[in-house]
Chain A
Amino acid sequence: MISEQLLLDITKCSRCGKCTAICPMFEKTKGWDTGVARGKLLVSWGLARGELEINDKLIEALYQCPTCMLCEQECTAGAKVTEIIREARALIVERGASVPFSHRGTFDTVARITLRDGLHRDWLDLIKGDFRENGETVYFPGSLPYLEPVLDFDLGAARIISAAVTIFNRAGIRPAIITQLADSGHDAFWSGQYQFFNALKEKNSRLLAGTKMIVTTCAEDYSILKSEYSLEAGVYHISQFVRDLIREGKLAFSEGAERVTFHDPCRLGRHTGEYDAPREVLKTFVDYREMARYGKDAVCCGVGAWMNCNKYSKQLRLDRVKEAAEAADTLITACSKCLSHFSCLMTEPEKVEDLPEIKIVDFTEFVARNLKDT
């Protein structure tokens, strides 16, 4: 249901057109207004009021948006664009249409399987380092172990998870890794599958009851655990955790001359407001450079919640890596999903015209790799 408040929000839109100038997706699709916030708002209105029927065009209008929030922060009417789009998606789901996921919905099915009890999930052998299977300080790798086999390239799940454990160990902590945890539900939530999301949330909340601290390495997981769960435990993104450890003097790095830049994942930046932590960390040991568009103006990697990978989002990604290559030799991202989307682009150099040379590295892995032996 789109609430009265959100419907009112839609009426506030004066059709000023600011979003049409800002939206990176619209810049690529160069299509109708349904490709940008102000049109999507009207479509949502029509859907909520029963004036529009669900068809492929409507589904495309509401799902071809990574909900990056770039337009929302500049909207002259202050419309909650992404929330309205999400609620409209929930109406679509409620009325029985299926979500147009990329990868034919494989990750959605994986998430459904993680909801089942009684499976002996088996991937702890991926991890190098000292961890336990229960405890108050939890490391939440999310769907990382399950993403990799579906994708056709090396995502580095074992390296990233081990890197996180190494960081904990340096701080003298043996983190708990709970394989029975289900998918965080980020994609279920943003695709409008609220019932499914609530089931995931309920299961995870039960398993996380009594814990004190939860650290994630994926920005999508972080944003959802932080904003949509009500956990007693503090939820941290690994960049915040590492920043705090550095401030407490618990981590030391070998300095490098490498030029490094950081891609702000929408979920870490605009969705949860953390821009500084990853920068503060990286600046302590590398030659840190900023891309042309960064922080709150950073452009999305093009895909949100595995929903809209297409030729337009690929162009967005290409623009972004080119921008990164102008600034640095290595692009760091702090989200398992951004990492997947960027890495995917880089795996097919023969298929992409003017693909720049740049290394794409996960934040957690990069940090652990540069830790000084003590």
Chain B
Amino acid sequence: MTDFEPLIIAFACNWCSYAASDVAGTSRSYYPANVRIVRVMCSGMVDPTYILRALAGGADGVLIAGCRPGDCHYISGNTKAEKMVERMKILLHRLGLENERLRLQWISSGEGGLFARTIEEMVDRLKELGPSPLKEGKGKGA
């Protein structure tokens, strides 16, 4: 499956990770073009349904990126996100999806390199896992 290019949807916190993705861009660090970034105001506003819809809609992986512990601009949004991601990993496993397709990463605003590395790692792992079983044409149904 060498020509498989995974699609990643990243929900990135406005105050940190989204800025980091910008840093990665302006400093011209290389990262694969497999990611579509959705800017959110805080990782804590990412709802289970965003993750599921991204996957059901054909994404191979979902990244949730937020401020480091203690740095959330809304105090506890990132701890809320952490708990939610833990529960969603259980759900994905029960539903029959590899839960490594979902990743949580703390990336503060200057860490453009970490952003790029995170995407690279995810792309590598997703290439090993192969296309999401929910992708169009795999299995049938809605």
Report if A123 contacts B (CB, 8 A). yes
**Considering the chains assembled together, what is the distance between the CA atoms of A152 and B80 in angstroms?**
10
> A120–B134 Cα gap in the complex (Å)?
12
Cβ-neighbour of B95 out of A113, A117, A199 (below 8 A)? A113
* Chain B proximity of A331: nearest CB distance (Å): 26
A149 engages B91 (CB within 8 Å): yes
User: Any chain B CB within 8 A of the CB of A104?
Assistant: yes
Number of A-B pairs, beta carbon distance below 8 Å: 74
Within 8 A of A (CB), among B127-142: 133-134, 138-142
Is A212 part of the binding interface, using a Cβ–Cβ cutoff of 8 Å? no
Is the interface on chain B under 10, 10 to 19, 20 to 34, or 35 or more residues?
A: 20 to 34
Cβ–Cβ < 8 Å partners of B83 in chain A:
152
A110 and B52 within 8 A (CB): yes
**Is A105 an interface residue, CB under 8 A from the partner?**
yes
Given known pairs A117-B139, A117-B140, the reply for A146 and B56 (CB within 8 Å) is no
Inter-chain contact B138/A122, CB cutoff 8 Å: no
**Nearest neighbor of B47 in chain A, beta-carbon distance:** A104
Selected from B56, B91, B93, the residue in CB contact (under 8 A) with A112 is: B56
Interface string of B44-65 (1 = CB under 8 A from A): 0001110011011000000000
Q: Given A106-B49, A118-B133, A149-B90, verify A112-B141 contact (CB < 8 Å).
A: yes
- Our pick among B96, B141, B142 for the contact of A120 (Cβ within 8 Å) is B96
For A105, list chain B residues within 8 Å (CB): 49
Residues A109 and B52 in contact, CB atoms below 8 Å apart: yes
**Would A119 and B95 count as touching, CB distance under 8 A?**
yes
Contact A121–B87 (Cβ < 8 Å): no
Write the nearest CB–CB distance from B88 to chain A, whole angstroms. Answer: 7
> Could you tell me if A104 and B49 are in contact, using CB atoms closer than 8 angstroms?
yes
Chain B residues positioned under 8 Å from A145 (CB to CB): 94
Specify which chain A residues have a CB less than 8 angstroms from the CB of B91 in the assembled complex.
Answer: 110, 146, 149-150
User: Known contacts being A113-B56, A115-B141, is A122 close to B87, with CB within 8 Å?
Assistant: no
Shortest A43–chain B CB gap in Å is: 28
CB proximity to B under 8 Å, residues A31-74: none
- Inter-subunit contact A196/B142 (CB<8 Å): yes
Interface bits A190-209 vs B (CB < 8 Å: 1, else 0): 00000010010001000000
- Chain B residues positioned under 8 Å from A293 (CB to CB): none
> A261 near B: Cβ within 8 Å?
no
Collect the chain B residues with CB atoms within 8 Å of residue A118's CB.
Answer: 133, 138-139
In-complex Cβ contact of B53 among A109, A119, A196 (8 A): A109
Partner of B142, one of A115, A119, A152: A115
CA of A330 to CA of B15, assembled, Å:
47
A114 at the interface (CB under 8 A from B): yes
Measured CA separation A106–B47 after assembly (Å) = 9
Q: Is B97 an interface residue (CB 8 A)?
A: yes
Given contacts A104-B49, A150-B48, A150-B91, contact A117 B141 (CB under 8 A): yes
Q: Could you tell me which residues of chain A, from 147 to 195, have a CB within 8 Å of some CB in chain B?
A: 149-150, 152
* Nearest-Cβ distance from residue A352 to partner chain B, whole angstroms: 20
Q: Does A199 contact B94, Cβ atoms closer than 8 Å?
A: no
Q: How far is the CB of B62 from chain A (nearest CB, A)?
A: 13
Cα distance A52–B91 when bound, in Å?
41
| Complex contacts, B142 vs chain A, CB 8 Å | 112, 115, 196, 199
Q: What are 23 A-B pairs with beta-carbon distances under 8 A?
A: A104-B47, A105-B49, A106-B48, A106-B49, A110-B91, A113-B52, A113-B56, A115-B142, A116-B139, A118-B133, A118-B138, A119-B96, A119-B97, A119-B134, A120-B96, A121-B94, A122-B93, A145-B94, A146-B95, A149-B90, A149-B94, A150-B91, A199-B142
The 3 closest A-B pairs by CB, nearest first: A119-B96, A115-B141, A149-B91
- B residues sitting closer than 8 Å to A (CB atoms) are 47-49, 52-53, 55-56, 83, 87-88, 90-91, 93-97, 133-134, 138-142
